A and B are shown apart, each in its own frame.
Chain A
């Protein structure tokens, strides 16, 4: 598409250069602007975009309507994959497990991050403190997962040693089907809380100071100021952060892949791990594509609802 437009528009510009007094080519030139040079600048990124974002999105939807094992050509099967998915107990299990993970992860992460953001804002503005709190986020998911896999080990992990020292029973954090998802959710709360806090901290900094001064003059205490001023004015940022973190949370994969591998039994077979196994262990590429279309739709609906319900694009200052 891009190459044809280059070819079609090249002569126009040459014409404009040859006949500067003529009105018509000049106008056309103005409409086209810097198109020729812009195409050169944007070409590599555009190729990357079309090849690795646009075409795969279309192809992913197409594959979801096919039966494809990677070796023979895809066979069109209409809605068969989707019908099969809705009857697949493992799919519903994956949805349930993923939802449980997202609720635990986002719930704790958002509350803790909000607390940390307030501390960053009110107690100390030290970059060092913010840096330390951000550090876990910069380390790879895989590293974080393995570190906690060790610290939460049933036999000799430090956390179980501490539990025993306090007088509590040991817990098989990754090995017990009740504990596995909360554990993975907690590990990622640990990794992401500083990052989320920094995003919210940036939002706090954007609230004008005079609003707080007026509140103080009116005799509002800290509690009231927080609920009546900080939270409403932080809402647009909070919403944006929630959309981003929830979208990320639904795509939990790395932690599961290096620790529980979906187990015990199906307790941590989250949706992205389920898709991965369908595509690469079972070679059901069409089925896996349909699963990822469903995941995509779910994420789009959630983002849309959040925007609607929380009225994120409106600011209470206006």
Chain B
């Protein structure tokens, strides 16, 4: 390449700068996640003296063992933990139960409603639908206080049902999301079935739902992630350890630090475990999630 026989393209500085900016953005997004992993794999006592090491300071699985209660209290305290029994398995299970119940029932009932809004003709349909949509604008704190009273009056405080109930039957977003998709689906097969005398229930279960697996899966993912990450509502109605979900548990874990110095590696191990199911879903279905975020993804 010493002789310039072919005219070489000029370096596009704009493009180089753009790639550099993108690289920075990726590093900024990923870096803190890696730092969480690095801290979780460190010994708590070594963190202070090796605060800027890129690799785990004095590598240890101890933080994970502490979080899952695999160590004796004395050993946990010696390693910088609080020594208090943390029923992390229980919280993990609670999060799993609540999020699964919400996802399955919300998506199912919302798809029923979406079918009624997209495929059936009935008086008041559009009015009811715009009423549904209108509540998208109501801030969650506004309904949270009265909903707390309702759940309290129903005697459902500190139950799985109490945590799940407000979002189990519908969310305006889920109905809207599925209605949009149903409206875009071809009616031909459904109409043919109708001529054969099939009832709407059969059409819904045997034709519409099987043809909508892609958006249903996307909605399930989005609903599960939202339910898994929710903090405010479970904090109000599910503070008892028997139903406490991970996000609420993490908030408490943070404030239970012994002698002022937080058990950082234990805390990071706990946050990592809480984020892990979501990250796993993301690795498995990333493309679906990324592509679902557009105009219809606006919540």
Contact = CB atoms under 8 A, between A and B. Distances in A.
A and B co-occur in one complex: yes
Interface of A: 31-35, 37-39, 41-42, 44-49, 51-57, 59-60, 63, 70, 115-116, 119, 122-124, 127-136, 138-143, 146-151, 153, 155-158, 161-162, 165, 190, 194-195, 198-199, 202-203, 222, 237, 240-241, 244, 247, 250-251, 253-254, 257-258, 272, 275-276, 279-280, 285, 288-289, 292-293, 295-296, 299-300, 303
Interface in B240-296: 246-247, 250-251, 254, 262, 264, 267-268, 271, 274-275, 278-279, 282, 286-287, 289-291, 293-295
A35 B123 contact: yes
B142 A296 contact: yes
A132 B231 contact: no
Contacts of B246: 140
Contacts of B68: none
B89 interface: no
Which 4 A-B residue pairings sit nearest by Cβ, starting from the closest?
A48-B169, A45-B113, A33-B121, A202-B294
Interface in B1-57: 14-15, 18-19, 21-22, 25-26, 28-30, 32-33, 35-36, 39, 47-48, 51-52
Nearest to B112: A41
B263 to A, nearest CB: 11
Interface residues of B, number: 95
Nearest to A119: B22
Given A127-B290, A147-B271, A199 B145 contact: no
Contacts of B135: 49, 53-54, 57
A151 B29 CA distance: 14
Given A143-B271, A202-B293, A149 B138 contact: no
Q: Is the interface of B mostly helix, strand, loop or mixed?
A: helix
Contacts of B293: 134, 195, 198-199, 202
A69 to B, nearest CB: 12
B271 A129 contact: no
Contacts of A52: 143, 147, 150, 165-167, 169
Nearest to A135: B29
B121 A59 contact: no
Contacts of A303: 137
Contacts of A254: 231-232, 247
Given A136-B29, A147-B32, 10 more contacts: A34-B200, A54-B135, A56-B150, A141-B247, A146-B254, A150-B267, A157-B51, A161-B52, A257-B235, A292-B141
Nearest to A237: B295
A138 B26 CA distance: 15
Contacts of A293: 142
A139 B39 contact: no
A143 B250 contact: yes
8 contacts: A44-B112, A49-B132, A53-B172, A146-B267, A147-B35, A199-B297, A275-B141, A299-B137
Contacts of A38: 116, 120, 122, 125
Contacts, number: 283
A60 B145 contact: yes
B268 A147 contact: yes
Contacts of B290: 127, 130-131, 134, 198
Given A38-B125, A146-B250, A156-B51, A44 B109 contact: yes
Contacts of B286: 127-128, 131
A243 B175 CA distance: 21
A237 B295 CA distance: 8
Contacts of B177: none
Interface in B90-138: 109-110, 112-113, 115-117, 120-123, 125, 128, 131-132, 135, 137-138
A288 B145 contact: yes
A146 B120 contact: no
A258 B251 contact: yes
A135 B28 CA distance: 11
Contact of A140 (B110, B146, B229): B229
Interface in B168-221: 168-170, 172, 175, 199-201, 204
Nearest to B143: A56
A219 B39 CA distance: 53
A146 B36 CA distance: 10
A237 B293 CA distance: 13
Contacts of B279: 135, 138-139
Contacts of B47: 156
B194 to A, nearest CB: 11
A275 B148 CA distance: 14
Contacts of B287: 127, 131
A293 to B, nearest CB: 7
A150 B39 contact: yes
Contacts of A299: 137, 139
Contacts of A35: 122-123
